[in-house]
Structure 1
Amino acid sequence: MKVAYIFSSTTSQKILDNMIIPQLEGDTHGAEVAGMFFFMDNTYFLLDGSELGERLRQIQEKNGMLLMACDKCAIERGIENKLISGAKIGCFPQLYAALGGAGIDQVITL
Structure 2
Amino acid sequence: MKVAYVFATSNASTFKLASMILPQLEAGNHGADVVGMMFFDDNIFCLREGDPIGERLANVAQEKGILLMVCDACALRRNLAEGPPESCGTGAVMAKGLVKGVLAGCFPQLYEALSGNPPDHIISL
| Maintained 8 Å contact 2:11/2:43 | no
Distance 1:54 1:18 in 2: 15
Alignment-derived partner of residue 64 in structure 2: 63
Worse-matched range after superposition: 31-40 or 41-50: 41-50
Task: Calculate the aligned-residue CA RMSD, in Å.
Answer: 0.8
Alignment-derived partner of residue 105 in structure 2: 90
Distance 1:67 1:46 in 2: 9
Deviation at 1:47, TM superposition (A): 0.7
Higher gyration radius (CA)? 2
Is 1:99 paired with 2:107? Answer: no
Alignment-derived partner of residue 79 in structure 2: 78
Considering Cα pairs closer than 8 Å and 6+ residues apart, tell me whether 1 or 2 has the greater RCO: 1
Deviation at 1:103, TM superposition (A): 3.0
Alignment-derived partner of residue 21 in structure 1: 22
Alignment-derived partner of residue 7 in structure 1: 7
Alignment-derived partner of residue 108 in structure 1: 123
Structure 1 runs of 4+ with >2 Å offset: none
**CA offsets 1:41-61 (integer angstroms, 9 cap, x no match):** 011121111001101111011
**Unaligned 5+ runs, structure 2:** 82-95
Alignment-derived partner of residue 49 in structure 1: 50
Distance 1:25 1:46 in 2: 17
Deviation at 1:28, TM superposition (A): 0.3
Distance 1:103 1:41 in 2: 26
Whichever residue aligns with residue 52 of structure 1, its letter is: I
In the alignment of these two chains, the number of paired residues is 110
Deviation at 1:66, TM superposition (A): 0.2
Give the TM-score normalised by structure 1. 0.97
> Could you say what secondary structure the match of 2:22 adopts?
helix
Distance 1:11 1:44 in 2: 10
